[in-house]
Copies of this chain bind each other. A is one copy, B any other.
Amino acid sequence: MSGDDEGDPRPRILARREVARSRLFRIEELDLRFSNGVERTYERLPATGHRAVMVVALDDAGEILLIREYMAGFHAYQLTLPKGAADPGESLEEAANRELKEEAGYGARRIELLKELSVAPGHMGFTQTVALATDLYPERLPGDEPEPLDVERWPLARIDALFQREDFSEARAIAALHLARMRLESTPG
């Protein structure tokens, strides 16, 4: 037995239906037939259509800007990177610069997109693009945060020590910082 579309190894989607919905999320079921004939029903949170960015902002002293933010998933404050969704019509570079201004109080004259990261691709269609922001200058924009965010600085050269901290655990932030360091090490100057 093979899939219905010759040459496409992906399972065939036999049916798709929304099974739950909230203000922010939709959950859908996919009835799938794999190329070996096995049929399964999978659940997923499909892409929302909002592209999102995570910002590694490096200042002239070689330090990156971290924010301390309330994380509802754990009802706890944690350190992470500035991030957020792009507004309609906004490029990812523009979104990165705006989020940096809102959450950390800095703008960037140079923004480079490094990689589109997936979060939990087995179950979620979300991605977040890593943006490297350099040539910073102070500028604050009002954001939609319920409270001002504490900003901390950490030397890029010592991020491996940051990764050992219990209050720094977000996989996307670890990946983003490592990718930014790789990028900077590959282009001196």
Contacts and interface: CB of A to CB of B under 8 A. Distances in A.
B19 A22 contact: yes
B13 A73 contact: no
A27 B20 contact: yes
Interface in A43-64: 43-47
Contact of A43 (B22, B29, B46): B22
A78 B178 CA distance: 21
A76 interface: yes
B30 A20 contact: no
A15 interface: no
Interface residues of A, number: 66
Given A43-B72, A73-B121, A73-B125, 17 more contacts: A10-B75, A13-B75, A20-B21, A22-B27, A32-B72, A32-B146, A34-B70, A34-B147, A35-B147, A74-B118, A78-B121, A117-B171, A118-B169, A118-B171, A163-B178, A171-B176, A174-B179
Interface of A: 9-11, 13, 19-25, 27, 29-30, 32, 34-36, 38, 40, 42-47, 69-78, 80, 115-128, 146-147, 160, 163-164, 169-172, 174-176, 178-179, 182
